[in-house]
Amino acid sequence: MSKKKAKKMLEIKNLHVSVDGTEILKGLDLSVNPGEMHAIMGPNGSGKSTLSHVIAGRDGYEITGGRIIFQGEDLTGMAPEVRAAKGIFLAFQYPVEIPGVANTTFLKEALNAIRRFKGEGELDAMQFVKMMRAKTKELGISDDMLKRAVNVGFSGGEKKRNEVLQMAVLNPTLAILDETDSGLDIDALKIVAEGVNKLRSPQRSMLIITHYQRLLDYIVPDKVHVLAHGKIQRTGGKELALELEEKGYAEFDEAAA
C-alpha cells in the first residue's frame, strides 16, 4: 500500500500524438503526484483537448512516440473502458446526449461495469439508490436530474454538474476536467467549482484543462502548466495563471515562431 502511494499518479514522457497524420503533441512531459491538482492552460489549438482524449484512450489519436504511465502502468493500447475501470475519469467539454436512457440507469450501468472489472460485487437497486441519495445531497443535485435522459435537454450548467455527479459516483483516482468552464455563466461556474472542490482528496489527482484563468479563482491548482504548440512551455504555481490572464498567450506564440 505504502509502495503504491509512492508511485506517481500520472507520468507523461516525451509524448508525440498525431491526428490524421498531423502532429498535435510534440514531446509533452507532465508529472502529477497523488492528491495534486494541476491546471493545463493554453491557447486554442495548442493540443489541450488532444491531451485529455489521449489519456482517456479515444480512437483516432495515434501515439507516435513517448509514453503515458498511470500509476506505474503504461496505458498504450488500453481500451477506454479499462482505463475508466482503473480510475481515469474525463469530464467532457461537450457532454454527450443519450436519448431515452435515464441518468440513473446510465450511472448504475457504469458503476457496476467498473465494480465488475475490479472484482467487486454489483450494487443492487436498493444499495444503488441509497448511494445516489447521498451523492446528490452532497452535491445539491435534484432527483429530477436523475430521472431525465442523459444530458438530453440539459442546460450548459446542468450538463457540467452532471459530469461532476458522475465523477462523484464513479470515484476516480485521476479526474481530467476538459474545459469545464466553457459555456457557463459565473453562477453555474461557482456551483460546478464547488462540486469539484468537494471531490478533492489526497488519493485523487485532478487535471484541469482550461483556456481562461477565471475557473482557477474557484478551483485553486497546485501547479499551472502552459501548453502551446504541443509542448509544455512553462510550469509554475497558481500565480502563473494570473500572469497569463494579464499578458495572454502571445509570448508563447512568439517563442514557437
Partner 1 sequence: MAASTQTAQQVQELADDKYKYGFVTDIESETAPKGLNEDTVRFISAKKNEPEWLLAWRLKAFRHWLTMAEPTWAKVGFPEIDYQDSYYYSAPKGSDDGPKSLEDIDPELLATYEKLGIPLREQEFLAGVAVDAVFDSVSVATTFKSKLEEVGVIFCPISEALEKCPDLVKKYLGTVVPYTDNKHATLNSAVFTDGSFVYIPPGVRCPMELSTYFRINAKNTGQFERTLIIADKESYVSYLEGCTAPMRDENQLHAAVVELVALDDAEIKYSTVQNWYPGDENGKGGIYNFVTKRGACRGRNSKISWTQVETGSAITWKYPSCILQGDNSVGEFYSIAITNNCQQADTGTKMIHLGRNTTSKIISKGISAGRANQTYRGLVRMSPKAEGARNFTQCDSLLIGNECGAHTVPYIESKNKTAIVEHEATTSTISEDQMFYLRQRGIPPEAAVALVVNGFCREVLQQLPMEFAVEAQKLVGISLEGSVG
- Binding region for partner 1 (CB under 8 A): 56-59, 79-81, 83-85, 89-90, 92, 94-101, 105-106, 109-111, 113-114, 117, 149, 166, 170
| Residue nearer to partner 1 on the CB measure, 106 or 212 | 106
| Minimum distance of partner 1 from residue 211's CB (angstroms) | 21
| Minimum distance of partner 1 from residue 250's CB (angstroms) | 33
| Minimum distance of partner 1 from residue 30's CB (angstroms) | 20
| Residue nearer to partner 1 on the CB measure, 102 or 242 | 102
| Minimum distance of partner 1 from residue 233's CB (angstroms) | 28
| Minimum distance of partner 1 from residue 159's CB (angstroms) | 12
Query: Helix count (H) and strand count (E) of the chain?
Result: 10, 12
Rounded to whole angstroms, the Cα distance separating 109 from 92 reads 19
| Residue nearer to partner 1 on the CB measure, 14 or 94 | 94
With 0-12 / 13-18 / 19 or more C-beta atoms within 10 angstroms meaning exposed / middle / buried, residue 153 is: exposed
| Residue nearer to partner 1 on the CB measure, 65 or 80 | 80
Q: Find out whether 231 and 23 touch, Cβ atoms under 8 Å.
A: no
| Minimum distance of partner 1 from residue 101's CB (angstroms) | 4
| Residue nearer to partner 1 on the CB measure, 106 or 128 | 106
Q: Find out whether 174 and 70 touch, Cβ atoms under 8 Å.
A: yes
Rounded to whole angstroms, the Cα distance separating 199 from 253 reads 35
Q: Find out whether 115 and 122 touch, Cβ atoms under 8 Å.
A: yes
| Residue nearer to partner 1 on the CB measure, 177 or 228 | 177
Sheet with 223-228, strands from edge to edge, namely 88-91, 174-178, 205-210, 37-41, 223-228, 231-236
Grid coordinates belonging to 224? 499551472
Give the per-residue SS3 of 173-204. Answer: CEEEEECCCCCCCHHHHHHHHHHHHHCCECCE
